[in-house]
């Protein structure tokens, strides 16, 4: 139908939905085939008392278990914004140099996670701290359902360890805040009145050397009706920084609208607290023992190193399951306190 392509935006949306349905159907058929294959191998193993065939059947059953978990997670990613890319902001909080180092560790953790998922990452802004770490950073993670997963990370993250910056090697607690916003694509209309936006330009600062920008290329946009401000200085071009800042602003305005419509609005807003004691969603303890615990879902692991290297899916999936079951809310946030 030639008329189908007249509205290219609608055509692309339909094709995207078609691709998603085809992928789900393909995965389901693959799962059915594995079930039939496993049943056949189990019967053969029992009849011939063959341990090798039984082991082969067990491998297929283990694969099926992973496939079912993957399909279940995809079912949990059912909200309209879940399929979008994500814009992530990280800000250091209470804890001085340790907090700034912790913020950089979190950024590294999410970059590793994104790479493992096959997602693309674009740095939007980074403010390095004077001694170590970063004061703040913003970056985009692009790929199917990037926001669906990353929204589970919004909140305050707490680190407990022996400080590498303390001459007396004392145990310190540091905090950093993570916020994820859905990156709005062209299919979603966000009406922004240009008269409501104030643009400020400034010289981009850096750590020194060849990366210092000597022109006023950094751009801050302030949306006066909401008070939302965004800053981008990743590019040497003021025009490019403004374009990226507009994407960040659109993402925040879209998230604001979602918060208004979302039944979990109070729980979401409760994560946007002071970045210090009593407001964390997850704790990472390196001393005197090793443990990562999500205070909203109770998900726990002792393999801290693996988590800090980007193994986050178990925490994200637990959060998604809790959301689907209606177990997220003020009570879960109160438990974190």
Give the pTM: 0.69
Give residue 208's pLDDT: 42
- What local confidence, expressed as pLDDT, does residue 184 receive? 78
List all residues 6 or more positions away from 177 whose beta carbon is below 8 Å from its beta carbon: 89, 90, 91, 93, 155, 156, 157, 272, 275
Residue 95: left (phi > 0), alpha (psi -120 to 50), or beta? left
Q: If the chain, 337 residues long, is cut into consecutive pieces of 10 residues, what is the mean pLDDT of each piece? A: 68 71 80 87 87 88 80 80 91 91 96 94 88 91 92 94 85 93 73 81 57 66 86 80 83 80 52 60 93 94 95 93 74 40
Strand partners, 125: 138
pLDDT of residue 175: 95
Do domains 85-182+278-336 and 194-260 share one topology? The answer is no
302-305's contacts with Cβ under 8 Å and 24+ in sequence apart are none
Choose the CATH number for 85-182+278-336 among 3.20.20.10, 3.30.70.1660, 3.40.50.11720, 3.20.20.140. Answer: 3.30.70.1660
**Phi and psi torsions of 100, nearest 5°:** -70, -40
Separation of alpha carbons 175 and 158, rounded Å: 5
pLDDT at site 296: 92
3-state secondary structure the chain: CHHHHCCHHHHHHHHHHHHHHHHHHHHHHHHHHHHHHHHHHHHHHHHHCCHHHHHHHHHHHHHHHHHHHHHHHHHHCCCCCCCCEEEEEEEECCCHHHHHHHHHHHHHHHHHHHHHHCCEEEEEEEEECCCCCEEEEEEEEECCCHHHHHHHHCEEEEEEEECCCCCCCCEEEEEEEEEEEEECCCCCCCCCCHHHEEEEEECCCCCCHHHCCCCCCEEEEEECCCCEEEEECCCCCHHHHHHHHHHHHHHHHHHHHHHHHCCCHHHHHHCCCCCCCCCEEEEEECCCCCEEEECCCCCEECCHHHHHCCCCHHHHHHHHHHHHCCCCCHHHHHHHC
Domain ranges of the chain: 2-76, 85-182+278-336, 194-260
> What phi and psi, each to the nearest 5 degrees, are found at residue 330?
-65, -35
Sole residue written with tokens 């799962």: 31
pLDDT of residue 212: 45
Q: What is the pLDDT of residue 334?
A: 42
In CATH terms, the fold of domain 194-260 is Double Stranded RNA Binding Domain (3.30.160)
CA distance 281 to 297: 9
């Amino acid at each position: 139908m030639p008329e189908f392509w007249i509205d290219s935006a609608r055509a692309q949306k339909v094709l995207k939905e078609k691709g998603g349905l085809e992928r789900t159907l393909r995965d389901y058929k693959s799962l059915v085939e594995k079930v039939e294959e496993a049943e056949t191998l189990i019967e053969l193993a029992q009849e011939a008392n063959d341990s090798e065939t039984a082991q082969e059947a067990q491998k297929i059953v283990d694969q099926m278990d992973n496939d079912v978990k993957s399909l279940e997670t995809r079912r949990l990613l059912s909200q309209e914004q879940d399929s979008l890319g994500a814009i992530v902001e990280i800000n250091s909080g209470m804890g001085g140099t340790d907090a700034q180092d912790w913020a950089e560790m979190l950024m590294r953790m999410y970059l590793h996670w994104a790479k493992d998922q096959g997602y693309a990452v674009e740095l939007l802004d980074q403010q390095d701290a004077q001694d170590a770490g970063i004061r703040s950073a913003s970056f985009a993670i692009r790929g199917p359902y990037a926001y669906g997963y990353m929204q589970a990370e919004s909140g305050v993250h707490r680190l407990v360890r022996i400080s590498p910056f303390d001459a007396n090697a004392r145990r310190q607690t540091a905090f950093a805040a993570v916020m994820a916003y859905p990156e709005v694509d062209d299919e979603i209309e966000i009406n922004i009145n240009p008269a409501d936006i104030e643009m400020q330009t400034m010289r981009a600062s850096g750590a020194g050397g060849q990366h210092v920008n000597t022109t006023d290329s950094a751009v801050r946009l302030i949306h006066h009706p909401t008070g939302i401000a965004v800053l981008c200085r990743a590019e040497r071009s003021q025009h490019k920084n403004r374009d990226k800042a507009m994407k960040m602003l659109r993402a925040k305005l879209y998230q604001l609208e979602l918060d208004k419509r979302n039944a979990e609005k109070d729980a979401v807003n409760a994560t946007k607290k002071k970045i210090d004691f009593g407001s964390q969603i997850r704790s990472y303890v390196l001393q005197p023992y090793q443990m990562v615990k999500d205070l909203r879902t109770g998900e726990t692991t002792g393999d801290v190193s693996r988590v800090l290297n980007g193994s986050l899916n178990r925490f994200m999936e637990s959060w998604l399951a809790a959301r689907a079951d209606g177990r997220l809310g003020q009570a879960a946030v109160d438990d974190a306190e």
